[in-house]
Amino acid sequence: MVISSSNSYFKSNNEVVEINTANKLKTKRFTQNGEIQIYQSPYRGSYSFIIRDCLRNAALGRKVLLVQFMKGGVKQGISNAIKLCGNLTWIRSAHSFDQYDSEEIENNKDLRNSINESTYELWDFCKKELLLGEYDQIILDEIFLALEMKIIDKDDLISTLENRFISGDVILTGTGIPKDLSLMANQITELRS
């Protein structure tokens, strides 16, 4: 079952700025940033339809960035991003929690630090892309788990989203939404079993 709600966080669609250059009045129209969409589920691995949609968007010519923070197994990292449909950049962590047993991570401080650094490296890359605005759609898969594990700072995420420069949508997924982020969302979709 899918339950969806939307929030009118952003009221205006366009902002008009008047620029006076050499006694000529020019009007430049800035379009609003795209929507913030949140998908929440009580269990991990339930977002295959988002991957399907980003593949479709890339095939239709939109430039899409899909970052999976907690998925691994391919030792990919930023330098080994996968390109699909000419427009989809798909990145997974070089070291992720899914690659190891939780007991192994718990008992090996170096491994835990390596995983945290790899996840934070992905976040640092995403921050730059959100501020540059070169993608039409950015998906931050399981970012709420990275927040919960205190790898990514919630205030840093909120600040980056507030200052983003992307005409398309930013999609955030995870198992638990911090209230501050739910207030920013234009749409929240809750998946139920």
pTM for the whole thing? 0.77
Contacts of residue 33, defined as CB under 8 A and 6 or more positions apart, other chains included, come to: 10, 164, 165, 166, 167
For residue range 51-93, list pLDDT tens digits in order.
888 899 999 999 999 999 887 766 688 888 888 888 999 998 8
Mean pLDDT, residues 136-158 taken together: 92
Q: What is the mean pLDDT of the chain?
A: 80
Domains of the chain, start order = 2-191 (3.40.50.300)
103/112 Cα distance (integer angstroms): 11
**Strands across the sheet with 137-141, in order?**
2-6, 187-191, 36-40, 169-174, 137-141, 64-68, 88-92, 82-84
**Most confident of the following: 31-35, 57-61, 103-107:** 57-61
53/60 Cα distance (integer angstroms): 10
119/140 Cα distance (integer angstroms): 12
User: How many Cα neighbours within 13 Å face the side chain of 124?
Assistant: 9
- What percentage of the chain carries pLDDT values higher than 90? 33
Please tell me which residue, 43 or 144, carries the higher pLDDT value.
144
Residue whose pair of structure tokens reads 């379009």 in the numeric block: 31
The pLDDT, as a whole number, for residue 17 is 45
Task: For 138-157, give one letter per residue: b (16+ CB within 10 A) or e.
Answer: bbbbbbbbbbeeebbeeeeb
The closest alpha carbon to 174, from 75, 37, 55, 60, belongs to 37
For residue range 149-180, list pLDDT tens digits in order.
888 999 999 999 998 987 789 999 988 888 88
Residue whose pair of structure tokens reads 């931050």 in the numeric block: 140
Q: Are 109 and 123 in contact (CB under 8 A)?
A: no
The pLDDT, as a whole number, for residue 153 is 94
The pLDDT, as a whole number, for residue 7 is 46
What angle, rounded to 10 degrees, do the helices at 154-162 and 109-132 form? Answer: 10
